[in-house]
Amino acid sequence: MNGVLLVLVVLVIVALGVLVYASLRASDRRKAASLEDAKADARRVIERLGGQVINLTGTDDASKQALADASERYTAAGSQIEQAATAKQALLAKESALEGLYYVRAARVAMGMDPGPELETLAGQRSAGTVTEDRKVEFEGREIEASPAPSQRTPNYYPGGRVAGRPVPAGWYSEPWWKPALVAGAWGLGSVLLFDALFSGMHGSGYEQGFAQGYDQGFDQGQDGGDFGGDTGGWDGGGWDGGGSDWGGGDFGDFGGF
């Protein structure tokens, strides 16, 4: 009787082991399939971006800068997809490529061309809103301008989203003042005054109800881990480290807290 009981116990243990092994194998297959699907989706967007970057040439400062930014995003996305080992990492590569396509779209607008089809929404883009009016503010001895349209005074485009936890509206700016925070992952103390002066009360922006509301909205969204755009892995793939001569060197030498 004891021998029969022992055999039954062994059989139960073996059966449980087989079930656990089969479950793990099925989970691995699902993860592998999810990763391949995510990589394929990202590569589709990256290839589309590459075609635009190769075939377009800027005709003015605004379009040239936007295409330079698009090229940086293409380089970053290519690096990220090659290193992607999870579906989330592949999604980050896709996000970088989508950002590049927004820069391409901006370049086409600056050159008076058809902007092309609508694009997927970037992470944090809706909450950031857009620049809907011309603003000019004094900040640390310089004039910083924001506009809904490109011009000689506002040749730097940003597609909108969270930068270091704070919403930056989509629009055209006199200088890429957000890039130091993009690289460092943090804003300087003086940035509160800049955000408040540049965006507070602007209809259609993330700061329509004032700076505090816009900041709180961006901060709350940043806590759930759902936005995976520029202020985390999306900017680590080499996009801003080597190519951006427009803001390197002395351009931000007097930027203080940034």
Output the pLDDT for position 240.
Answer: 40
Query: Could you tell me the two tokens for 135?
Result: 């603003």
Angle subtended at Cα 46 by Cα 44 and Cα 51, rounded to the nearest 5 degrees: 100
Output the pLDDT for position 95.
Answer: 95
Domain ranges of the chain: 33-113, 125-225
Q: Which band of pLDDT confidence, cut at 50, 70 and 90, is reported for residue 191?
A: confident
Contacts of 69 (CB under 8 A, 6+ apart): 100, 103, 157, 244
Output the pLDDT for position 77.
Answer: 97
Query: What mean pLDDT, rounded, does the chain reach?
Result: 82
Q: Give 251 or 3, the one with higher predicted confidence.
A: 3
Q: Structure pTM? A: 0.73
- Is residue 203 within 8 Å of residue 169, measured between CB atoms? no
**Looking at the predicted structure, is the pLDDT value of residue 31 above 80?**
no
Over residues 231-258, mean pLDDT? 38
**Looking at the predicted structure, is the pLDDT value of residue 89 above 50?**
yes
